[in-house]
């Protein structure tokens, strides 16, 4: 699929406090946009604006998929998100979480297929464990598994290697480098700035 993400003059402010202003960027298929800036500069807010969870004060987010312009809510089925703000159900097992989110997305996977997917992110054999019993690093791996489940056009990674050990970071590196769609990364890690085809500096 051919796709393009355009951030057109984005600005966000809360009463009496501007968060960011004048954000412009354009990234095409297979390219990576890195958003960086100090703590509190609005990286996570910008990610939520791109996802359509927050309306921008000015400007717009455009995702073109196969020459079709998608609006704020139409973008969502094309997004995979890994973020500290994204929380899965602690009361469900990893497999149940994946089955549920696949189901409400209109996709059907067998438990065996999902076990294989979990294996790819280093959670092989742990699919029957409750997500609540996972360590923070395992939860991050589970988020990657979920984000990649529907093979999204737009993968948004907020602090992509948070809580991950070295093998986990290597897995993230492999995921980012092998992506065919658009990847947006919000990070402060110097090593992750190297992924950038386009960079947005906040603050």
The CB-of-26 to another protein minimum distance in angstroms stands at 23
Closest CB to another protein among 100 and 189?
Answer: 100
Closest CB to another protein among 4 and 76?
Answer: 76
Per the CB < 8 A criterion, the answer to whether 56 and 11 are in contact is: yes
Closest CB to another protein among 28 and 52?
Answer: 52
The CB-of-92 to another protein minimum distance in angstroms stands at 7
Using alpha carbons, select from 66, 68, 134 the residue that is nearest to residue 95.
Answer: 134
The CB-of-56 to another protein minimum distance in angstroms stands at 13
HSE, CB side, 13 Å, CA atoms: give it for residue 28: 3
Closest CB to another protein among 55 and 201?
Answer: 55
Closest CB to another protein among 74 and 197?
Answer: 74
Q: Which residues lie near another protein (CB under 8 A)?
A: 51-53, 55, 73, 76, 79, 81, 83, 85-92, 96, 100-109, 113, 146, 149-150
The CB-of-193 to another protein minimum distance in angstroms stands at 26
DSSP per residue, 116-163: HHHHHTT-TT-TTSBGGGS-HHHHHHHHHHHHHHT--SEEEEESTTTT
Rounded CA Rg of the chain: 17
Cβ-count burial 18-37 (b if 16+ within 10 Å, e if not):
ebbeebebebebebbbbbbb
The CB-of-105 to another protein minimum distance in angstroms stands at 5
What are the phi and psi torsion angles at 106 (to 5°)? 85, 20
């Amino acid at each position: 699929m051919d796709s393009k993400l355009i951030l057109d003059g984005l600005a966000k402010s809360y009463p009496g406090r501007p968060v960011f202003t004048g954000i412009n960027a354009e990234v095409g298929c297979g390219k990576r946009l890195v958003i960086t800036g100090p703590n509190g500069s609005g990286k996570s807010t910008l990610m939520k604006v791109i996802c359509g969870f927050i309306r921008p004060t000015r400007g717009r987010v455009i995702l073109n998929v196969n020459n079709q312009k998608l609006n704020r809510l139409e973008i969502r089925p094309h997004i995979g998100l890994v973020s500290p703000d994204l929380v899965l159900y602690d009361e469900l097992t990893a497999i149940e979480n994946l089955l549920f989110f696949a189901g409400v997305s209109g996709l059907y996977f067998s438990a065996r297929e999902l076990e294989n997917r979990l294996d790819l992110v280093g959670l092989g054999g742990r699919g029957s464990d409750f997500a609540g019993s996972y360590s923070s690093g395992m939860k991050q791996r589970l988020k990657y598994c979920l984000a990649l489940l529907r093979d999204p056009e737009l993968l948004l990674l907020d602090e992509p290697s948070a809580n991950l050990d070295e093998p986990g970071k290597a897995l993230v590196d492999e995921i980012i480098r092998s992506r065919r769609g658009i990847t947006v990364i919000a990070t402060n890690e110097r090593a992750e700035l190297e992924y950038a085809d386009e960079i947005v500096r906040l603050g």
